[in-house]
Amino acid sequence: MTSHNTPGRGAAGGGARPRVFIVDDHGLFRSGVRMELGTDVDVIGEAADVDSAVEQIGAQEPDVVLLDVHLPGGGGQAVVSAIRQAHPKVRFLALSASDAPEDVIAVIRAGARGYVTKTISGDELVDAIRRIAAGDSVFSPRLAGFVLDAFASQAAPAGTALPPPDPELDQLTPREREVLRLIARGYTYKEIAGELFISIKTVETHVSSVLRKLQLSTRHQLTRWATDRRLN
């Protein structure tokens, strides 16, 4: 994955260790992640299913929740939906081994700030957690691809009776599309900034805007995209 989206690796050394909560139904994976994260972050708890996760996260209010997309009892998005209203400060980073796009998009739409695959290295994961904790988003190439796909297929009207309720939210701007494409091609934010002659901050802004569109748009098309994919 992208160890390269690295604005502040090592800079956060001074005490600001993000408090991390791990939700995954595989015990082996949980301990593996715990070990990989080492002392760079403060792992304050673990959970293996939706109910216990909701309960503990609500009680402990971690900075970042590492959330498996596939969870018994409703999947990752159930956890996000349950926590977000009451605890807006808790941020979620989705993780998964197998990439069913509709599940990933569902978690993001529920409110997760980023998505990485489980093949990510420990350093990269720490970096991603730091960035989520700082309020940024973490788009892996895969997520960028999923999002492009989701928005592209809904852009083709294909005989829908209902017009898009909010075109502003239902479509990506050409610039956002460009940024997503470069992420999907494996570019770092810094490289994207150089390529498009914009600042890294602007790249961040575009990505956040994409995230907002994903989460806010009324999206019967987005759900339709998901069901289409499931039917296939």
**Interacting residues toward another protein by CB under 8 A:** 1, 4, 100-102, 119, 141-142, 144-145, 148-149, 152-153, 156, 181, 184-187, 225, 228-230, 232
Token pair 């979620």 in the structure block, residue: 92
Contact by Cβ (8 Å): 105, 150: yes
| Spatial distance between the Cα atoms of 177 and 92, rounded to a whole number of angstroms | 24
Residue 132 has, within 13 A of its CA and on its CB side, a CA count of 33
- Looking at beta carbons only, is 19 or 177 nearer to another protein? 177
Minimal distance, residue 186 CB to another protein, in Å: 3
Comparison of 32 and 101: residue with beta carbon closer to another protein: 101
3-state secondary structure of 176: helix
Q: At a CB cut-off of 8 Å and minimum separation 6, what does 129 contact? A: 18, 20, 37, 41, 64, 66, 93
Q: In the complex, what is the shortest distance from the CB of residue 150 to another protein, in angstroms, rounded to a whole number? A: 9
**CA neighbor of 26 nearest in space, from 62, 59, 72:** 72
- Between 51 and 102, whose beta carbon lies closer to another protein? 102
- Residue 92 or 225: which CB sits closer to another protein? 225
Residue nearer to another protein on the CB measure, 76 or 145: 145
CB of 228 to another protein, least distance (A): 5
Question: What's the min distance (Å) between Cβ of 220 and another protein?
Answer: 15
170 alpha-carbon distance from chain centroid: 19
Least Å from the CB of residue 94 to another protein: 16
> How far apart (Å, rounded) are the C-alpha atoms in residues 56 and 218?
31
Query: CB 144 → another protein: shortest distance, Å?
Result: 7
User: Rounded CA gap, 50 and 193, in Å?
Assistant: 39
Q: Which C-beta is closer to another protein: that of 72 or that of 194?
A: 194
